[in-house]
Chains A and B, each alone.
Chain A
């Protein structure tokens, strides 16, 4: 399922805001077909790290490798060009538009500015069915009428529709009920099964252990460990989050996840 060359690899990433060191020599990687969780307490540097990948922030130091090659990401467009898509917590959907319109927002299929609705509707339906999102009855209903889980599904589907290779999910289940959380976690697992590199940021260790193959723990802007989900326990991860000692993790994860 997964192979050993990381899809996305960050080495020795540092970032400071004034005198505050948000990230210190942080390493991070995600392989194709793998769900990598990024956990840590508030202020651990998770969001800053994600923003460095997404191009919202520029790292002060360190290297970013994409499929083994050095890349520089200067803005969100660079990240999108590489195939990195971020689904933010607040989803960024337009409630007054329907599912199709949201999926193609800003990238509408058009000829001389005239929209091709049929092509967009068909692609939306096929993308949703590829991801086994079956609860949305009509792709022509407005997003305002969808449940929280359905909205999250639309946001994720939009991220993967553009031949993306790495999908980053920021707290995808933060505001969802039990059933809808299950719905979204299943979707996250399917993304991994389809060969994408998936990064999931979550405070909820239950969600993390439900979906992730590996878990990267940050504390106070430094790496404190990378864990195989199958060989670790929630307790070990909690200890790392709250009291882990900084270590270098490059090359440490020996076994590839199954």
Chain B
């Protein structure tokens, strides 16, 4: 994590970074250096998550069960999808307030298109593709107004917030609840993989990180680029493996009325998009340009980057991820009703990204932050629910955690600045 603050001309040169040893000694040295300079990365939020899990594990009787773990994944999936889009929008230093109701539009479209006997029924998978494309289209529309006309994103997406909400109200007030019967659409939330398939999926995702390192090493072969620290790579790979196989093992352990549970598809969809969007942000020219526009739009423009094109594409991503999240939410209750979107979806999604360390001012943050943030918020709300605590208190606690996370981040940034990072 780095600071985006300007170090003025004439500022003291950065302190000399110590040469880092290779191997295991280097890992500890780097960890200590990062800790001292406030370069904490995702550490605070992972610690927070562990604390929350332990806390609820002791206080709530139904929290520490495999079934609840599966529930937690499916409940968090939709919010995490929306939060992924929020990361890209925030990286530009923009905001998208419409995603909650864009998710609603996505859900409404699949519900309408799968309706038997409606005359326009299409297969569930096609309905989902159309819905996500339509939501990306909404992003295209909103993004174009922002990028080409120059209306602030806050205003455009606030308008979208009201317009899409109004559209949903108009349709559903007339029609009432639309039940979703299509198997494939409902699978996005409720499908559980067999135990063997779950482990296979864990193995595939676990292999991605070592493969990416292998690729980087091959590309850097024959150059003078510093080699990877293999001990650090190994530690991170082991951590990912434990998380992936641990998740599947717990899911497989669940049992509802003697029926075995397994890894939910919703979780796999979220991790799949996490991998895809991380690749997009960190490995492609598009991702690089998103960070550049967020850091200094004028510099990006002068470097020949089409700033409006980047803005429009980012709002399309935001629309599409909202659509996918909306479908998952609709599948959770097998219907779309006037109560959609559930809870404080928009604010939960934005809070997830912000808790995950994505700056509101652009240029700083990572896709994984959204996943970790959504998981923390999801765990909190799930745990408080199992304790039968009122909704009011759930909001208050979520707000408190958001405030705490951002305050901590502000301190960390100040610490980084002092140590010249």
Verify A118–B225 contact, CB threshold 8 A. yes
Q: In the complex, are the beta carbons of B6 and A95 less than 8 A apart?
A: yes
Q: Please indicate the chain A residues that have their CB under 8 angstroms from the CB of B295 in the complex.
A: 94-97
* Cross-chain contact B223 with A92 (CB below 8 angstroms): no
CB distance from A109 to the nearest CB of B (A): 9
When the two chains form their complex, are residues B299 and A105 in contact, meaning their CB atoms are under 8 A apart?
A: yes
Q: Does B224 lie within 8 Å of A125, measured CB to CB?
A: yes
A175–B6 Cα gap in the complex (Å)?
14
B296, A95: Cβ atoms under 8 Å? yes
Answer whether residue A50 sits at the interface, using C-beta atoms and an 8 A cutoff.
Answer: no
Docked-complex contact B16 and A137, CB < 8 angstroms = yes
Q: Tell me whether A206 is interfacial, beta carbon within 8 Å.
A: no
Residues in A lying within 8 Å of B, measured CB to CB: 76-77, 88, 91-97, 101, 105-108, 110, 113-119, 121-122, 125, 135, 137-138, 141-142, 144-148, 150-151, 175-177, 180
Task: For A106, list chain B residues within 8 Å (CB).
Answer: 289, 292, 300, 303-305
Q: Are A96 and B225 in contact (CB under 8 A)?
A: no
Residues of B within 8 A of A (CB): 2-14, 16-17, 216, 219-220, 223-225, 283-286, 288-289, 291-292, 294-296, 298-300, 302-305, 363-364, 420-421
Q: What CA separation (Å) do A93 and B303 show in the bound complex?
A: 9
With a cutoff of 8 Å between Cβ atoms, the chain A residues found around residue B12 in the complex are 147
Rounded to whole angstroms, the CA-CA distance of A107 and B3 in the bound complex is 24
Residues of the A chain whose Cβ atoms lie less than 8 Å from the Cβ of B3:
142, 144
Q: Give chain A nearest CB distance to B285 CB in angstroms.
A: 5
- Report yes or no: B291 in contact with A96, Cβ–Cβ below 8 A: yes
* Cβ contacts under 8 Å, A122 to chain B: 223-225
Minimal beta-carbon separation of B302 from chain A (angstroms): 5
Q: Chain B contacts of A107 at CB under 8 A?
A: 303-304
Give Cα A140 to B11, complex, Å. 19
Residues of chain B lying within 8 A (CB to CB) of residue A94: 291-292, 295-296, 299-300, 363
CB distance from A161 to the nearest CB of B (A): 13
Q: How far is the CB of B60 from chain A (nearest CB, A)?
A: 41
Instruction: Tell which of A92, A113, A117 touches B303, judged by Cβ atoms closer than 8 Å.
Output: A92
- A115, B11: Cβ atoms closer than 8 Å: no
Pick the contact of A145: B14, B288, B299, B300 (CB < 8 A): B14
Contacts of A177 in B (CB 8 A): 10
16 cross-chain CB contacts under 8 A: A94-B292, A94-B295, A95-B5, A96-B4, A101-B288, A105-B299, A106-B304, A115-B284, A121-B225, A135-B13, A142-B421, A144-B3, A146-B7, A148-B8, A150-B13, A177-B10
> A21 vs B5: C-alpha distance in the bound complex, in angstroms?
41
List the A side residues contacting B299 at CB < 8 Å. Answer: 91-94, 105
* Min CB–CB distance B288 → chain A (angstroms): 6
Whether the Cβ atoms of B302 and A115 lie closer than 8 Å is: no
* For the complex of A and B, 9 pairs with smallest distance between CB atoms: A148-B9, A106-B303, A94-B295, A96-B295, A96-B363, A118-B220, A175-B9, A106-B304, A92-B299
| A contact patch SS | loop
| Residues of A close to B291: CB separation below 8 A | 94, 96-97, 101
Closest to B302 in A: A92
Cβ-Cβ contact count across A and B, 8 Å cutoff: 128
Provide the residues of chain A in CB contact with B292, threshold 8 Å. 94, 97, 101, 105-106
Check A113/B296 contact, CB under 8 A, given A96-B364, A122-B223. Answer: no
B309 to chain A, nearest CB (A): 12
Contacts of A118 in B (CB 8 A): 216, 219-220, 223, 225
Question: How distant is A101 from chain B, measured CB to nearest CB, in Å?
Answer: 6
A144/B9 contact (C-beta < 8 A), A94-B363, A96-B291, A114-B284 known: no
Residues of B within 8 A of A146 (CB): 7, 13-14
Q: How far is the CA of A100 from the CA of B10 in the complex (A)?
A: 22
Contact: B2 with A138, CB < 8 Å?
Answer: no
* B16 / chain A contacts, CB cutoff of 8 Å: 137
The answer on a CB contact under 8 Å between A113 and B223 is: no
List the B side residues contacting A138 at CB < 8 Å: 17
Does A137 contact B17, Cβ atoms closer than 8 Å? Answer: yes
- 13 further interface pairs, Cβ-Cβ under 8 Å (given A105-B303, A125-B224): A94-B291, A106-B300, A106-B305, A113-B285, A113-B286, A114-B283, A115-B285, A118-B216, A122-B223, A144-B5, A145-B7, A146-B14, A180-B10
Question: Chain B residues with Cβ under 8 A from A135's Cβ?
Answer: 13
- Give, as a whole number of angstroms, the nearest-CB distance from B303 to chain A: 3
A150 and B8 CA atoms in complex are apart in Å by 12
Please determine whether A147 and B10 come into contact, CB atoms closer than 8 angstroms. yes
> When the two chains form their complex, are residues B305 and A117 in contact, meaning their CB atoms are under 8 A apart?
no
User: In the complex, A157 Cα to B219 Cα: how many Å?
Assistant: 24
Q: In the complex, A79 Cα to B302 Cα: how many Å?
A: 13
B2 partner residues in chain A, CB cutoff 8 A: 96, 142, 144-145
Chain A residue nearest to B299 (CB atoms) is A92
For B284, the chain A residues whose CB sits under 8 A away are: 110, 113-115
Please name the residue on chain B nearest to A142 by beta carbon: B2
* Cβ contacts under 8 Å, A150 to chain B: 13
User: Hey, which chain B residues are within 8 Å of A125, CB to CB?
Assistant: 224
Which A residue sits closest to B223, measured CB to CB? A122
| Chain B residues, Cβ within 8 Å of A105 | 288, 292, 299-300, 303, 305
Please tell me which one of the listed residues B8, B219, B420 contacts residue A116 in the complex, with CB atoms under 8 A apart: B219
| A116: B residues at CB distance < 8 A | 219
Q: Are the C-beta atoms of B305 and A115 separated by less than 8 Å?
A: no
B10 and A175 contacting across the interface, CB-CB below 8 Å = yes
| Bound: A108/B288 CA distance, A | 9
**A139 shortest CB reach to chain B, Å:** 10
Q: Which has the most chain A C-beta neighbours within 10 Å: B5, B286, B292?
A: B292
Q: Are B285 and A151 in contact (CB under 8 A)?
A: no
Contacts of A77 in B (CB 8 A): 304
Please name all residues of chain A whose beta carbon is closer than 8 Å to the beta carbon of B10 when the two chains form the complex.
Answer: 147-148, 175-177, 180
